[in-house]
Structure 1
Amino acid sequence: MPFLIFFIHPPKSGGSTVITFFDLNLGKDRFANFVWDREGWGSCRAKLLETRVGGGHHPYGMHRTIKHPLRYCTILRDPLARQISHYWYAASGKNGEVKRGVSVSTAEALVQQGVISLDEWVAESLAGKNLFVHMLSGQSVLNENSLAVAQSHLRQHIGTTGLCENMSEFLLRLAAMSGLKLPFYFEANRTIGTPKGESPLSDAARRKFLEDNRLDYELFHDAKGLIEIEVNDAGAVFSNALELVKVIQKEINQLENPHIYSSTVFGFDPAFLAKVEGVIRRFDLAPIDAYLEFARSRQPVLADMFEGFVDRVQDGVVSGWAVNFSRPEEQVPLEVRVGNEVIASGWSGEPRPDVAGAGYPSAHAGFSIPLPPHVRDGFHIAIANSPESLHNAGIWRQGWHCA
Structure 2
Amino acid sequence: MPFPIFFIHPPKSGGSTVISFFDLNMGKDRFVNFVWDQDGWGSCRAKLLENGIGGGHHPFGIHRAIKHPVRYCTILREPLARQISHYWYAASGKNGEVKRGVSVSMPEALVQQGAMSLDEWVGESLAGKNLFVQMLSGHPVLNESSLALAQSHLRQHIGTVGLCENMSEFLLRLAGMSRLKLPFYFEANRTIGAPKGDIPLSDAARQKFLEDNHLDYELFHDAKRLIQNQVDEAGHVFSNALELVQVIQKEINRLENPHIYSSMVFGFDEAFLAKVKSVIGRFDLAPINAYLEFAQSRQPVLADMFEGFVDTVHNGAVTGWAVNLSRPEEKVPLEVRLGDEVVARGWSGESRPDVAGAGYPSAHSGFSIPLPAHVQGGFHVAIANSPESLNNAGIWRQGWHCA
4+ aligned runs moved over 3 Å, structure 1: none
Cα offsets for 1:321-372 (capped at 9, x unmatched): 0000000000000011111111111100000000000000000000001111
Q: Post-superposition shift, 1:51? A: 0.4
Secondary structure in 1 aligned to 2:266? coil
User: Kindly tell me: are residues 258 and 149 of structure 1, through their superposed partners in 2, closer, same or farther at Cα, counting changes over 3 Å?
Assistant: same
Contact 2:314–2:398 under 8 Å retained in 1 = no
Partner of 1:213: 213
Partner of 2:91: 91
Q: Post-superposition shift, 1:50? A: 0.8
Partner of 1:367: 367
Contact 1:168–1:184 under 8 Å retained in 2 = yes
Take 1:12 and 1:105, find their aligned partners in 2: how far apart are those partners?
15
The answer to whether structure 1 residue 147 and structure 2 residue 142 are counterparts is: no
Percent of matched pairs sharing the same residue: 84
The answer to whether structure 1 residue 253 and structure 2 residue 245 are counterparts is: no
Structure 2 length normalisation: TM-score? Answer: 0.99
Secondary structure in 2 aligned to 1:265? helix
Contact 2:316–2:398 under 8 Å retained in 1 = no
Cα offsets for 1:3-26 (capped at 9, x unmatched): 210000000000000000000000
Q: Post-superposition shift, 1:398? A: 3.0
Q: Post-superposition shift, 1:276? A: 0.3
Partner of 2:341: 341
Contact 1:144–1:215 under 8 Å retained in 2 = no
Q: Post-superposition shift, 1:40? A: 3.9
Partner of 1:177: 177
Secondary structure in 1 aligned to 2:110? helix
Take 1:177 and 1:265, find their aligned partners in 2: how far apart are those partners?
25
- 1:15-30 aligned within 5 A: 15-30=15-30
Partner of 2:358: 358
Partner AA of 1:318 in structure 2: V
Contact 1:136–1:150 under 8 Å retained in 2 = yes
Partner AA of 1:60 in structure 2: F
Partner of 2:224: 224
Take 2:52 and 2:398, find their aligned partners in 1: how far apart are those partners?
45
Contact 2:80–2:209 under 8 Å retained in 1 = yes
Take 2:330 and 2:95, find their aligned partners in 1: how far apart are those partners?
49
Partner of 2:281: 281
Q: Post-superposition shift, 1:316? A: 0.3
Take 2:87 and 2:107, find their aligned partners in 1: how far apart are those partners?
10
- 1:197-208 aligned within 5 A: 197-208=197-208
Partner AA of 2:296 in structure 1: R
The answer to whether structure 1 residue 399 and structure 2 residue 402 are counterparts is: no
Q: Post-superposition shift, 1:38? A: 6.4
Contact 2:396–2:402 under 8 Å retained in 1 = yes
Partner of 1:322: 322
Take 1:374 and 1:352, find their aligned partners in 2: how far apart are those partners?
29
Partner of 2:49: 49
Contact 1:177–1:296 under 8 Å retained in 2 = yes
Partner of 1:78: 78
Contact 1:31–1:265 under 8 Å retained in 2 = no
Q: Which runs of 5+ in 2 are unaligned?
A: none
Partner of 1:8: 8
Contact 1:307–1:389 under 8 Å retained in 2 = no
Partner AA of 1:245 in structure 2: V
Take 2:171 and 2:201, find their aligned partners in 1: how far apart are those partners?
32
Partner AA of 1:167 in structure 2: M
Cα offsets for 1:92-138 (capped at 9, x unmatched): 00000000001111110110001110000000000000000000000
Partner of 1:124: 124
Take 1:357 and 1:117, find their aligned partners in 2: how far apart are those partners?
53
Structure 1 length normalisation: TM-score? Answer: 0.99
Partner AA of 2:112 in structure 1: Q
Take 2:374 and 2:226, find their aligned partners in 1: how far apart are those partners?
44
Cα offsets for 1:142-199 (capped at 9, x unmatched): 1331000000000000000000000000000000001100000000000000001011
Partner AA of 1:143 in structure 2: N
Contact 1:338–1:376 under 8 Å retained in 2 = no
Contact 2:323–2:362 under 8 Å retained in 1 = yes
Take 2:172 and 2:161, find their aligned partners in 1: how far apart are those partners?
11
Q: Post-superposition shift, 1:37? A: 4.3
Contact 1:19–1:265 under 8 Å retained in 2 = no
Q: Which runs of 5+ in 1 are unaligned?
A: none
